[in-house]
Chain A
Amino acid sequence: MREYLTNTNQVFAIAWRGPSIPDLKVLLGTHFARFSAAAQAAGRARHALIVQDPDLVIHSGGHPRAFSGMAYLPQRMPPGVTAEQIR
């Protein structure tokens, strides 16, 4: 579990990796609703859930005992930080 902070201590990204899925309702806060909607819309054989909006990106995937994912706010990313660095 990692949090990425701006130099003013604002969280602009999180990433996780572990045997079970963390409680994303807590981690995502107000952004959770869009993730939940994506989960409800997904087919049941899915191995990844993706939210890819201009202001919010969430990726959650894996399988039992090996889940990982990340979420970030593209508009709050500090200059020079890329999505690939959120791991």
Chain B
Amino acid sequence: MRRLRRCLGLALLVGVAFGLSSCGGGGKGASSSVAPDCSNQAGLITSFPTPTGANFVAVTIDGGPVVSGAPIGTINQSYVTVTVCVPGTTTCQTIDHVWVDTGSVGLRLFSSALGTLSLPAEMQGLNVVASCAQFVATYAWGAVRTADISIGSKLASSVPIQVIGDTAGGAIPAPAQAPSTCASGVGGALTSYSVPSDMGANGLLGIGVFLQDCGAGCATSVNNGFYYTCPGGTCSAVTMPTNMQVQNVVSLFPTDNNGSLLQLPSVPPQGQATGSGYLIFGINTQTNNQLGSALVFPADPNFGFINTTKTYGQASNMSSFVDSGSNAWFFDDPTLTVCANNKDFFCSTVMLSATMSAYQGFTGTAPSHTYGFCIENLNSAFLTGTWAFNDVGGPGMAGSFDWGLPFFYGRSVFTAIESATIPPTPINGNPPPFFAASTP
């Protein structure tokens, strides 16, 4: 009933572009036995207790930073507050609405969010180190600087971070003049993250499965796509030792540094205005971050991918990932209808399921688990000021299943960092990198 009302409202709001047929339940490709009723979220966790201890920070899902009186975020962006300080000092800036991203590594803050805080630039020889972070449609370009980072009660000292849009006083170019291999990593197609409204956040807290944003490849390979220096205004790709690369802040906490746990309570079908939860640091290091009965899915040591098998349609999706920084379920399914006026999302309503498992090529013993989920026609959500949805999806890449933020609602989802130790040793016999998640 509620769904129907939403659909009727949509038809009225956006006119004839959407037929009511797109509002029907079921649909092509629906899985039979394990698919949930969208209104029945049995087993999903509706409320997590406030963690005890000093290893967590509150998470919010809302409209993001407010600029000129209006929120600049989009749906399903989860945020924390981060404090950055000049190393070894109490000269600090607290920055709200930093986007939590288990799909990338490193803290990247917009230059404007730092205000007047002057962090020391990281130098390679006489040159400021410039960082490029490519995303699928965008890139972030700016100087690497060093900061003490506080998140909740955890402190990491002298951490290389990226300051997006920071030219370090002209030592490196502005984003619009970034090297073609960064700005035009796809030959000119990428657009720049230049100001917070481009990202819907004041920065990005990448807490993925790796220690650095690039890793050993950038320490040995010059044309790595990540690091540059720009003497005389001309940028050249450079190698960068791993300890000078943009770092996973979690891995540099003195304790509770082997990974993290996101606990976001479930949200009802068709969303709720805002969401909240906790980002807890460490895995099996405190009573509040125990794996318990969560299932451990080993991730590819090179790419961080896991495997996903859909229980319908295309069988294998070896380039899959668990990504709080994706704001929907993104997957390839030609049977679903892409919204005519927003091709980022599906305008179908359907109940589906997909099976998460260890990365393709993993030779040990690891579980697989089938998670049910709903996709609903939520195009009108963008008109309502509702920010937290577990049932919004969009077209993704063939061979990939992106377990975005909707997957996190109602579950404990762990991200374990490469090379780290998960006590007690070994855990399930499978070391990091891995993702782990509660069931159902």
What residues of chain A have their CB less than 8 Å away from a CB belonging to chain B?
A: 17, 19-26, 28, 32, 35-36, 39-50, 52, 59-70, 83-84, 86-87
Contacts and interface: CB of A to CB of B under 8 A. Distances in A.
A21, A32, A42, A49 interface centre (most CB from chain B within 10 Å) = A21
A45 to B, nearest CB: 5
Interface stretch (B50-58, B118-126, B193-201): B193-201
Interface in B203-251: 206, 208, 210, 213-215, 217, 224-226
Given A21-B185, A44-B193, A62 B319 contact: yes
B314 A20 contact: no
A46 B344 contact: yes
Contacts of B133: 64
B214 A66 contact: no
Given A42-B344, A44-B200, A47-B330, 15 more contacts: A20-B225, A42-B136, A42-B343, A44-B193, A45-B74, A45-B200, A46-B344, A47-B323, A47-B325, A60-B136, A61-B402, A62-B321, A63-B321, A65-B303, A84-B314
A25, A50, A86 interface centre (most CB from chain B within 10 Å) = A50
Nearest to A57: B398
Contacts of B200: 44-45
Summarize B's interface: helix, strand, loop or mixed.
Answer: loop
Given A20-B224, A60-B397, A64-B105, A40 B189 contact: yes
Nearest to A61: B397
B181 interface: yes
Contacts of A61: 136, 319, 330, 396-397, 400, 402
Contact of A39 (B191, B215, B327): B191
A48 B402 CA distance: 9
Nearest to A21: B185
Contacts of A67: 134, 136
A39 B399 contact: no
17 contacts: A23-B186, A24-B186, A25-B188, A35-B186, A36-B189, A40-B191, A44-B138, A44-B199, A50-B397, A59-B397, A62-B400, A63-B135, A66-B300, A66-B305, A66-B321, A70-B398, A84-B315
Interface in B127-144: 133-138
A17 B303 contact: yes
Contacts of A39: 137, 186, 189-191
A22, A35, A42 interface centre (most CB from chain B within 10 Å) = A42
Interface residues of B, number: 62
B181 A65 contact: no
Given A24-B187, A68-B319, A69-B397, A46 B332 contact: no
Contacts of A49: 136-137
Given A40-B189, A44-B193, A64 B104 contact: yes
Interface in B94-153: 103-105, 133-138
A47 B191 contact: no
Interface string B321-334: 10101110010101
Interface of B: 74, 77, 103-105, 133-138, 181, 184-191, 193, 198-200, 206, 208, 210, 213-215, 217, 224-226, 300, 303-305, 314-315, 318-319, 321, 323, 325-327, 330, 332, 334, 342-344, 394-400, 402, 404
Given A32-B187, A39-B186, A65-B214, A47 B314 contact: no
A66 B395 contact: no
Contacts of B399: 59, 68, 70, 84, 87
Summarize A's interface: helix, strand, loop or mixed.
Answer: mixed
B74 A63 contact: no
A46 B400 contact: no
Contacts of B189: 24-25, 32, 35-36, 39-40
Contacts of A60: 136, 186, 397
Contacts of A21: 134, 136, 185-186, 190, 225
Nearest to A15: B399
A12 to B, nearest CB: 16
Contacts of A43: 74, 137, 342, 344
A48 B105 contact: no
- Across the A-B interface, give the 3 residue pairs with the lowest CB-CB distance, nearest first: A25-B187, A20-B225, A61-B397
B21 to A, nearest CB: 21
Contact of B397 (A36, A41, A68, A84): A68
A42 B224 contact: no
A52 B210 CA distance: 33
B297 to A, nearest CB: 15
A85 B200 CA distance: 37
Contacts of A19: 214-215, 217, 224-226, 303
B104 A63 contact: yes
